[in-house]
Chains A and B, each alone.
Chain A
Amino acid sequence: MVDLRLTTSEMASFVTQGTVRCDEIVPPELCARVLEEMKGGAYGGDIFKNTGELLTEQWPGSGMQAVLQVPKVRAVLESLVGPDPRYDHHAVHLSPAGNLRGQDIHQDAEYDVRRTAFDIQASFFFHDVTAAMGGTLFLPGSHYRRVRVSAIGRYQNIVGQEQTVCKAGTVVFWHHNLWHCGRGNNTDQTRYMFKLRVNARVKQERLFNYTELPVAELRKIFEVRHPFSGNDERTETLNRIRLWRYLTGDASWDCTSWWSRIENEL
């Protein structure tokens, strides 16, 4: 049986970028079903009503529960938060046709000051999203930055920002602290996106398809320079290595002695 969980290099990429994007992993018929359910209001109401329950208990018999059983969706969630995560909340994001204003860039969880453990948010796109439709914009690599929710709205544009343009059935899994916003919809079609947040119920250690990789290969991933990093480039790398140690259970892992050279104070 093929192991669909994230590979070591894919997980390392998540550590650096804060996102895992899987294109067209939800079958078209299931996309159509959930889209109709969303339009019919099936996922409306109090989005925090069931917070704390198991994810597998949500929306029994619905299209969305079927989506959560799609093998790749299950495998990626298991890689990031374990096999049986806790449901946090969800939201049907809807951008009406011609809504050019969109959102300001923001971070969802300023109250979450965990240094290593993290929640996962997943953005499900059940119809094609063109550039003009203004799909969710992410700033890859911004998830280590501690900011206050909407204060970053003063940044109208940041070099490195990436808007989601995708086919139906695409899912973006992202770190809960990643900077993001929904963009303006310059088309005559309503844009839908289903957002889901889940919490790990286990320590997030080697939940992915872990294999040893040469340090040199991981170093290339962890020393990536995001265009907006500026003076924080090296601090970003230190944060990535700290998260990698947590995810692999190897408290002494390092490359080019980023941490080792400063951990010898007796």
Chain B
Amino acid sequence: MRRLSEPKVEAVLGNVRSTVLALLQQALKRGEGPGKPQSQASTTQVHAIRIPFAPYSCGHSIESSHASQTKRCWLRSHACCRKRCYVTDVAHRSPERGGRVRTRQQVLVLYLALPQLDSRVVGWSFYDGASQQDREAHGVEVEPPYSSGLEALRDGWRLIEYPRLENPAPGREYQVGYLQAEFVFEKIIDSSAPLPVAEGESV
């Protein structure tokens, strides 16, 4: 038997390690992770109720729970009209990712005219944990996403902060300042789901 020198042994072991690693990565891409047979990936795909695409003002199409209305999707911005579409239920698991759900939080802050949930919206902000895009300029949108906080609840947003009622400090009864009725909502979404945008369209 021919003896290999020490450097040559190291080189052979290095090649073996690279090959095994490449094979493992390919298997993972196919959804064949350890302890997970290939068939399981397809059986665990959970698709939400498919909702008809609603036309958007820019010509794009989006998925919405309000098929009768033009809604906005805050997952991504439309580059052409710089407005956002608002998607409500994107809860299907991505087969391309082996059926794993990658959840992210979306936060919607509504400022209402009065400190009760069914009061009208007078201001709003949105933060998207699923988006990699920088936030656009403030003051871009003209119409509130909902007419009231209650309407947001009915559309699936979960209320996580309710404003306290506070009297003005003595002597400051005639001083106005910040918008008072700040309600914070959240949605947990599957950020691994493909974007519900019509084929051929860009976002």
Contacts and interface: CB of A to CB of B under 8 A. Distances in A.
A222 to B, nearest CB: 14
A155 B144 contact: no
A161 interface: yes
Interface in A92-132: 100-105
B131 to A, nearest CB: 14
Contact of B137 (A101, A152, A232, A242): A101
Nearest to B134: A101
Chain B interface, DSSP helix/strand/loop, else mixed: loop
Given A159-B122, A230-B122, A102 B176 contact: no
A145 B175 CA distance: 7
Interface string A201-232: 00000000000000000000000000111111
B139 A105 contact: yes
A102 B137 CA distance: 5
A238 B174 contact: yes
Interface stretch (B26-34, B53-61, B98-106, B111-119): B111-119
B111 to A, nearest CB: 7
Nearest to B182: A154
A155 B125 contact: yes
B86 interface: no
Contacts of A147: 177-178
Most buried by B among A186, A231, A238: A231
Given A156-B126, A186-B82, A227-B122, A151 B178 contact: yes
A161 B114 CA distance: 19
B125 A157 contact: yes
A184 B137 contact: yes
B176 A236 contact: yes
Contacts of B173: 235
Interface in B133-159: 134-142, 144
Nearest to B123: A158
B78 to A, nearest CB: 12
Interface in B169-184: 173-181
Interface of A: 100-105, 134, 137, 144-147, 151-161, 163, 181, 183-184, 186, 227-232, 235-236, 238-239, 242
B151 to A, nearest CB: 15
Most buried by A among B135, B142, B174: B174
Contacts of A105: 138-139
A239 B174 CA distance: 7
B138 A104 contact: yes
B91 interface: no
Nearest to A105: B138
A205 B111 CA distance: 37
A156 B125 contact: yes
A159 B178 contact: no
B169 to A, nearest CB: 12
Nearest to B119: A230
Contacts of B179: 155, 158, 228, 230
A232 B178 CA distance: 10
A114 to B, nearest CB: 13
Contacts of B121: 159
A163 B177 CA distance: 22
Contacts of B124: 156-157
Contact of A145 (B82, B141, B177): B177
A163 B178 CA distance: 21
Nearest to B175: A146
A132 to B, nearest CB: 9
